[in-house]
Amino acid sequence: MARSTVTEDVQARIRALIVDRRLGPGSPLPTESELMELFDVSRVTVREALKALQALHVVEIRRGSGTFVGSLSLAPFVGGLAFRAAVRHSNGEPGLYELMRVREALETGLIDSVVACAPQEDLDVLRAIVDTMDREAKTGGIDRGTDRAFHLALYRSLENHLLSEVLDAFWAAMEQVRGDLGDGHADPGETCAHHREIVEAIAARDGARAVLAMSTHFDDLRARLAPSGR
Crossing angle of helices 3-20 and 32-39, in 10° steps, is: 100
Backbone angles phi, psi at 229, to 5 degrees: 100, -5
Q: Which residue has the higher pLDDT, 71 or 224?
A: 71
Q: From CA 159, how far away is CA 170, in angstroms rounded?
A: 18
CB atoms within 10 A of CB 126: 24
Q: Are 32 and 21 in contact (CB under 8 A)?
A: no
Alpha-carbon distances of 135 from 126, 142, 189, 221, rounded to whole Å: 14, 8, 10, 22
Paired with 67 in beta bridges are: 61
Q: From CA 46, how far away is CA 13, in angstroms rounded?
A: 11
Write the pLDDT tens digit of every residue in 92-104. 888 888 888 999 9
- pLDDT band at residue 4 under the 50/70/90 scheme: low
Name the pTM for this structure.
0.78
Whether 215 shows a pLDDT value over 90: the answer reads yes
Q: From CA 57, how far away is CA 76, in angstroms rounded?
A: 8
- pLDDT band at residue 21 under the 50/70/90 scheme: very high
Q: Are 212 and 168 in contact (CB under 8 A)?
A: no
Spell out the domains of the chain, with CATH numbers in brackets.
3-69 (1.10.10.10), 75-225 (1.20.120.530)
- Dihedral of CA 16/19/24/25: which sign? positive
Write the pLDDT tens digit of every residue in 38-71. 999 999 999 999 999 999 999 999 998 999 999 9
Write the pLDDT tens digit of every residue in 141-191. 889 899 999 999 999 999 998 898 888 888 888 887 776 555 556 788 999
Residues with Cβ within 8 Å of residue 96, at least 6 apart in sequence = 85, 86, 88, 89, 174, 177, 178, 181, 183, 225
